[in-house]
Amino acid sequence: MKKLSILLFCGLCLSLQVSAQQKTKDERMQWWREARFGMFIHWGVYAQWAGVYHGHEQLKGGAEWIMNRSKIPVAEYQAMAKNFNPVKYNADEWVRMAKQAGMKYIVITAKHHDGFAMFKTKASKWNIVDATPYGKDVLKPLAAACHKYGIRLGFYYSQAQDWNNPGGAVSRRPASDGWANPDSAAIDAYTKAHDGHWDPAQETRSFADYIKEVAVPQVKELLTNYGKVSVLWWDTPTNMTEEAALALQAQLKYQPDIITNDRLKRPDFPGDTKTPEQKIPGLNELDGKDWETCMTMNGTWGYRTSDNNWKTPETLIHNLCDIASKGGNYLLNIGPKPDGTFPQQSVEALSEIGKWMKTNGEAIYATHASPLPPLSWGRCTQKTSGSGTILYLHIFDWPADGKLWVPGLHHSITSAKLLANGILCQSKQTPEGVQIQLPAHAPDKMASVIKLQLTGNL
């Protein structure tokens, strides 16, 4: 009997293991679809340059591209790592701020295109432990803080482009895009003849060997050394081959539930999510797909001292509402300073978003795209509730006469109230739709939300 019990137990374990491995995409994606809001973090040695090379402002692109844009030699760029010492880095504080802002997941640049690993890796000495005076893995404490606060952890990894580890691919950008370099013409001629590389040190290994010796081992390290990893965010599949993509994709076996995007190699490796960048798709543009808009708070992903073109908290909140109303997620970027702190403008914006989300979060989390035609005064999200429907009306422009028109809505309304203060609002049906009578003043100047409960499903 004892032997039979053991066999039955082992069989149950095997069954559960197989069941877990056969989790459907809908099951894997459930938390992500409910989250709607996450934090992107672009951080690396490029923060030390802060968009300036030899006293010249980088002309184009985000500050994280400065090595490519300004065609900085490998040795010179790597020497800057000796100054990268983020002694004020506090992973607990970062994750706490994300949680208070209402974010449900974090995706950090484990390795960007400059090839600098923000973690201890055996595949390359070009990492924060071996190449900087800081000498510590920053992903370990971040993973611990995410676990502590219940935030999902994700890693961005530049799988193809790598401007420091030999053999890595390079996106061809003219030297004149960087700054007024007197040698721009000569550099451009060299990059044209050398597949985008501008320094012979970048070419001492083949791309296939780079994938085998650096990229694949590092992805395995990321997926085996930090506990649960929920997202792997590939970027720029420059010169990617099917063989390389298959070798990288094979590492996902270490995190069977992981969610990946569509940037490993297009179009043969679509991943789970679409990734519109710095833009919000038009209405119905990505219907039926899982998508996530990634966007900066100012004009750059990595830290740049001269970029003060900060979006207002109101704009960021409106973006969040707009994205949720179309069924997408908002991955909002922070570019930490070289000392490991967030720019003050980012801290203040996160605080304002958090205040709004504390009151109105239910109108964002686990919602679906709006069933209504475009609304001139704001946006709409929805949830099903038993045999009924809940519409959340995000009002950006409060009507001066207090009458809010919801066109095309003909279902019976059982309740209409403001999330901010619980005040009930009167409503009436008309042939054109529903009219809701609002108080004279908006309870929230950025975006006020009406919770509208209806009978039936839309």
Query: In the 3-class helix/strand/coil scheme, how is 2-60 assigned residue by residue?
Result: HHHHHHHHHHHHHHHHHHHHCCCHHHHHHHHHHHCEEEEECCCCHHHHCCEECCEECCC
In a domain, 16, yes or no: no
List, for the chain, all residue ranges whose pLDDT scores fall below the cut of 70: 1-22
What are 381-398's pLDDT values in tens digits? 999 988 899 999 999 999
CA 212/CA 369 separation, integer angstroms: 42
Of 363, 390, 411, which marks where a domain is finished? 363
Beta bridge partners of 434: 406, 429
Sheet arrangement for strand 403-407 = 403-407, 433-437, 426-430
Q: What is the pLDDT of residue 6?
A: 41
What domain range includes position 67? 24-363
Q: Are 294 and 62 in contact (CB under 8 A)?
A: no
DSSP summary character for residue 274: B
Cβ atoms 151, 98 nearer than 8 A: yes
d(CA 453, CA 220): 48
140 and 243 share one domain:
yes
Nearest to 292 by CA among 82, 67, 39: 39
Same domain, 310 and 344: yes
SS3 100: helix
Do 404 and 258 lie in a common domain? no
The token pair that represents 389 in the structure block: 């429907």
Note whether residue 9 is domain-resident: no
Last residue of a domain, one of 328, 363, 398: 363
Boundary (domain end) residue, out of 308, 338, 363? 363
Q: Where are the alpha helices (DSSP H) in 254-295?
A: none
379's tokens: 């946006």
- Strand ranges of the sheet holding 231-234, from the earlier edge strand across to the other edge: 259-260, 231-234, 152-157, 105-111, 37-41, 329-334, 292-295
64 and 192 belong to one structural domain? yes
**Are 179 and 276 in the same domain?**
yes
307: CATH: 3.20.20.80
3-state class percentages of the chain: helix first, strand second, coil last, to nearest 5: 35, 20, 45
The answer as to whether 373 is a domain residue is no
Would you tell me how many other CB atoms lie within 10 Å of the CB of residue 77? 24
Residue whose pair of structure tokens reads 């449900």 in the numeric block: 104
What CATH number is given to the structural domain containing 386? 2.60.40.1180
Q: Which residue in 450, 330, 324 sits closest to 396, CA to CA?
A: 450
Q: Are residues 410 and 298 in the same domain?
A: no
Q: Is residue 326 part of a domain?
A: yes
Determine whether 355 is exposed, middle or buried from the number of CB atoms within 10 Å of its CB (0-12, 13-18, 19+): middle
Residue type, 71: K
Which amino acid, residue 418?
Answer: L
Task: Looking at the structure, tell me whether residues 337 and 421 fall in a common domain.
Answer: no
Residue 279, Cβ neighbours under 10 Å: how many? 9
Decide: 340 and 90 in contact? Cβ < 8 Å: yes
Task: Establish if 140 belongs to a structural domain.
Answer: yes
Q: Which residues pair with 389 in a beta bridge?
A: 384, 454
* Residue 359 shares a structural domain with residue 393: no
CA gap 34, 253 in Å, rounded: 24
Residue 252 counted as domain residue:
yes
Give a yes or no: residue 435 inside a domain: yes
Residue of 130, 129, 124 whose CA lies nearest to 213: 124
- Is the bond preceding residue 371 a cis peptide, omega within 30 degrees? no
CA–CA distances in Å: residue 419 to residues 29, 362, 390:
28, 9, 13
Whether 330 and 411 map to the same domain: the answer is no
> In angstroms, rounded to a whole number, what is the distance separating the alpha carbons of residues 205 and 203?
5
The rounded radius of gyration (Å) of the Cα atoms in the chain is 25
pLDDT at position 457: 85
Beta pairing class for 378-385 and 388-395: antiparallel
Residues 340, 428: one domain? no
Distances from the Cα of 334 to the Cαs of 21, 56, 108, in angstroms? 34, 24, 10
SS3 (DSSP) at 66:
helix
Say if 368 falls within a structural domain.
no
Burial class (CB in 10 A: 0-12, 13-18, 19+), 381: buried
Q: Which helix (H) or strand (E) holds 344?
A: helix 344-360
Does 96 share its domain with 166?
yes
424 and 277 within one domain = no
Q: How many independent structural domains does the chain possess?
A: 2
Q: Which two tokens stand for residue 320?
A: 């969040």
Neighbour tally for 254: CB within 10 Å? 15
